[in-house]
Amino acid sequence: MSLWEKSVAELLDIIEWSDDSSDTMVWRFPRFDNEIKYGAQLIVRQAQAAVFVDRGKIADVFTSGQHSLTTKNLPILTTFMGWKYGFHSPFKAEVYFVSTRNFTNLKWGTKNPVILRDQEFGPVRLRSFGTYVVRVNDPATFIQEIVGTGGHFTLDDISEQLRNLIVSRFADTVAESGIPLLDLAANYTELSALLTKQIAPEFLEYGLEVTKLLIENISLPLEVEAALDKKSSMGIIGNLDNFAKFQAANAMEAAAKNPGGDASAGVGMGMGFAMANQLGKILANPQEPIPGTPPPLPGETYFIADNGTKTGPFDRQSISAEISAGTVTRETLVWKRGMPNWEKADSFGEFKPLFQVTPPPL
């Protein structure tokens, strides 16, 4: 500092800070050799605090207003320096102005997904972001714990630390809340209050206060959101059979509205009607085989007379099983296609060997 600057500094008797920035939290008043004239006027504006530091120790803290720096207004600093009553010489001290206003619209967010366990979906990965508002509520603690001896301290110097603190407590808050995954969006306000309560004591250790914290969004991975969208779509559609019929009706209506023209348009319309008609038959009777599937293997079918009632049709394997079980005897009347009349079961060449292994009655 030049001789002229030293002389001007010694003549100054007003100590104040006009903050024209939006992110400065602490500013140290410049004074040559830290000398302050006895009786100097200290002006502390609203949302400010002035902290006097002597040899690395916090001495006195002044709130908003105009203060005359005398032994009466500097009790702790006077004790440190051992002044006697009436001693009016300059004294040495560092003066730090601290902004106590609210710093708004501060961002926080998860850099990496946070893994949590949900009761319905199991382990899931969440991302979240939001905003918060912070202010200095204890200037002495803030200077002692965070600022140190820096002459100019801005919000950028601490915002990263605060953001990491919020993110680290976010996972604990969501997990301990027990709110299901699908209900998180409806409980942003409750989660914000829980998270604020969780981090408040740790901010106070720095001399800071969280006046507002908001959770703006909690998102899932894209593939999980796509799966939830499919599940929601299925829930909205409801009955798939009715939905398929509705789609078929729309297809037929679209085919009917297709204007005629060249041959290809007519062929397309005909194919559309045919497909819609076939789909309608399938939906009306789901048990009918779908076109394109092979028919059942060919084979003879039989009918059995049971107490004057025709039963069947049965295939050959079923009749053989009935003979082995004794349900169909030699005298049971059986008929198959091509026979003029009902015949006894033992008259059929394919069943006669089965009766021969059965011993005759005693």
Contact 125, 114 (CB under 8 A): yes
Res 6 pLDDT > 60:
no
The domain segmentation of the chain, as residue ranges, is: 3-99, 103-224, 239-294, 302-356
Res 323 pLDDT > 80:
yes
pLDDT of residue 4: 43
Q: How far apart are CA 253 and CA 267, in angstroms?
A: 16
**Looking at the whole model, is its pTM more than 0.85?**
no
Gap between the terminal Cα atoms of the chain: 138
Topology adopted by domain 302-356: Dna Ligase; domain 1 (3.30.1490)
Question: Could you read off the pLDDT of 158-190 as tens digits, one per residue?
Answer: 999 999 999 989 988 888 888 888 888 888 999
Contact 25, 98 (CB under 8 A): yes
**One fold for 103-224 and 302-356:** no
pLDDT mean over 254-276: 56
pLDDT mean over 323-329: 82
Q: How far apart are CA 238 and CA 236, in angstroms?
A: 5
Which residue would you say has higher pLDDT here, 113 or 298? 113
Q: How far apart are CA 140 and CA 127, in angstroms?
A: 36
Class of domain 103-224: alpha beta
Contact 202, 165 (CB under 8 A): yes
Q: How far apart are CA 35 and CA 10, in angstroms?
A: 8
Question: Could you read off the pLDDT of 47-91 as tens digits, one per residue?
Answer: 999 998 887 788 889 999 998 887 777 777 766 665 544 455 577
